[in-house]
Amino acid sequence: MADLLKTVDDQALAERFAATRSLTEALATPLSAEDQTVQSMPDVSPTKWHRAHTTWFFETFLLVPQRPTYQPFHPAYGYLFNSYYEEIGARFPRPHRGQLSRPGIHEIADYRSHVDGAMTALLEEPVDGAVASLIELGIQHEQQHQELLLMDIKHVLSRNPLLPSYADITMPCPTAEGRTTWTEYEEGIHQIGHDGQGFGFDNESPRHPVYLGAFAVADQPVTCGEWLAFIDDDGYHRPELWLSDGWATVQSEGWEHPLYWSRVDDIWQEFTLGGPIMVNPAQPVVHLSYYEAEAFARWAGGRLPTEAEWEVAARDRGLDGHLLDREVLHPAPSVLSAGSASLVGDVWQWTSSAYSPYPGFEAAAGAVGEYNGKFMVNQYVLRGGSAVTPPGHIRATYRNFFPPSARWAFSGLRMARNP
């Protein structure tokens, strides 16, 4: 684990720790005690749970092992706020997180303060590389939960007939829908995976060669306008476009459009963190399952990129898409042109790659090794970050993953094809 973070500047680490912790609280600020309590489906966690669980991570993996005199804030919180670490012990069942009214939001604020104080004290002293790596992991972990917090509260609010807003957001002006442009890449052996410079999760390693045939990747993500054409062409009713499991899901769930879309008086609307808006054809389409993305690609005559293709295409293009710092909290119309622009931001992009270990992958020893490896089945890789990804938390080698039926992440797609 120590080698995940080659050089650590303690001062910067303390600052980033503080900034990350503060951002979580800032994201929760618009939400009432009631908002922070609700769990709208088993995959969703209450806001206050995210605030507590990220705190539990620092308490459990840093304070308890590193500070012999540290007293856990509450004896039951280890049970309540462990997410899935089997080695740490039993845990409260995930689907029932919304049944817990206590601890309330004020007790959780106290918990955060308590742990922040102890962590600040720890960070005031020199820390060795292994400890610094764990703190870095805790920061990155909390950043993931910042995105989850926003995904989850969007789902919670969407279930309420009052359609409440999380925040007032100003969407960029609707623009004309651009034309898709493509960039081509030649066949050959490419290195993919994390090169060890800066932080990377264990699942991004080891860096390794892959052979790729020639391919082309679209410079823009697929837009709502293109998705409307798919709908109009009866895309949700043609089994030949779908994987068998996808078609079964379309039928059992009654899918006719992306999650959060609805048709009101013949006008397509979508629910956002700013409440309902009209669907803008120029914006990237978002909240798709893998099944929908894959079917669309077939309909459109192309295919999804593999994660290796995506990474090769992305790595020389920078990271300047719409992330959380843009504060739109929703994918925005793209103004990017061929070959020049980032593949990052706005929407996570489904790839055709099942989430599997890289050759030679080894999980870290101990409980933190349960972080990524044990989920390497029944999921597909998404790449690129989204409008609710914290800046600094995305890179070309980053592997996100969800089951193929999941739609509540900010998931869209980018096309690939054989040249």
Kindly state whether residue 185 participates in binding a copy of itself, applying the rule CB under 8 A.
no
> Is there binding between residue 239 and a copy of itself (CB under 8 A)?
yes
Alpha-carbon separation of residue 83 from 200, 229, 317, 364, 377 (angstroms): 21, 41, 35, 18, 18
Dist CA 140 CA 366 (whole Å): 18
Taking each helix axis as running N to C, give the angle between helix 47-58 and helix 10-28, from 0 to 180 degrees, rounded to the nearest 10: 160
Under the binding rule (CB under 8 A), the answer on residue 35 touching a copy of itself is: yes
Closest distance between a copy of itself and the C-beta of residue 168, in Å?
16
Q: What is the CA radius of gyration of the chain?
A: 21
Contact flag: residue 375 with a copy of itself (CB under 8 A): yes
- Closest C-alpha to 410, from 336, 326, 337: 326
Of 110-118, 241-249, 256-264, 319-327, which segment contacts a copy of itself by CB under 8 A? 241-249
**Residue 244 interacts with a copy of itself (CB under 8 A)?**
yes
Candidates 20, 36, 66, 342: give the one binding a copy of itself (CB under 8 A): 36
Q: Which residue of 43, 67, 70, 104 would you call a contact of a copy of itself, by CB under 8 A? A: 104
Structure tokens at 10: 């303690």
Q: Does 76 bind a copy of itself (CB under 8 A)?
A: yes
Q: How far is the CB of 31 from a copy of itself (least distance, A)?
A: 8
DSSP character for 375? G
Residue number with CB closer to a copy of itself (249 or 283): 249
Our finding on whether 264 is near a copy of itself (CB under 8 A) is no
Kind and range of the H or E element at 267?
strand 267-272
Among 30, 164, 198, 419, binds a copy of itself (CB under 8 A): 164
Interacting residue with a copy of itself among 354, 364, 391, 417 (CB under 8 A): 354
Q: Is 191 among the residues that bind a copy of itself (CB under 8 A)? A: no
Give the other-Cβ count within 10 Å of 103's Cβ: 19
- Among positions 200, 235, 246, 390, the unique one binding a copy of itself when judged by CB under 8 A: 246
Min separation Cβ 272 and a copy of itself, Å: 16
Give me the amino acid identity at 38.
V
3-state secondary structure 283-333: CECCCCCHHHHHHHHHHCCCECCCHHHHHHHHCCCCCCCCCHHHCCCCCCC
Strand-pair partners of 49? none
Name residue, tokens 């509450």: 74
Residue 84 in contact with a copy of itself, rule: CB under 8 A: yes
Total residues in contact with a copy of itself, by rule CB under 8 A = 64
Q: Does 79 bind a copy of itself (CB under 8 A)?
A: yes
Classify each residue of 269-280 as buried b or exposed e, where b means 16 or more C-beta atoms within 10 Å of its C-beta. bbbbbbbeeebb
> Do 211 and 186 touch, CB atoms closer than 8 A?
no
Question: Which CB atom, from 6 or from 374, has the smaller least distance to a copy of itself?
Answer: 374
Q: Which of 25, 87, 233, 253 binds a copy of itself (CB under 8 A)?
A: 87
Among the candidate windows 6-14, 202-210, 278-286, 340-348, which touches a copy of itself by CB under 8 A? 202-210
The answer to the question of residue 275 lying near a copy of itself (CB under 8 A) is no
Cβ proximity to a copy of itself, 92 vs 182, nearer residue? 92
60 lies in the binding site for a copy of itself (CB under 8 A): no
**Of 62-70, 286-294, 315-323, 336-344, which segment contacts a copy of itself by CB under 8 A?**
286-294
Q: What is the DSSP string of 212-261?
A: E--EEEESSPPBHHHHHHHHHTTGGG-GGGS-HHHHHHHHHHT--SSTTE
Q: How far is the CB of 356 from a copy of itself (least distance, A)?
A: 6
- Pick from 359, 352, 355, 319: which is nearest to 418 by CA? 352
Contact positions vs a copy of itself (CB under 8 A): 32-38, 40, 48, 76, 79-80, 84, 86-87, 92, 96, 98-105, 156-157, 159-162, 164, 189, 208-211, 213, 239-240, 242-247, 290-291, 294, 352-354, 356-357, 359-360, 370, 374-378, 404, 418
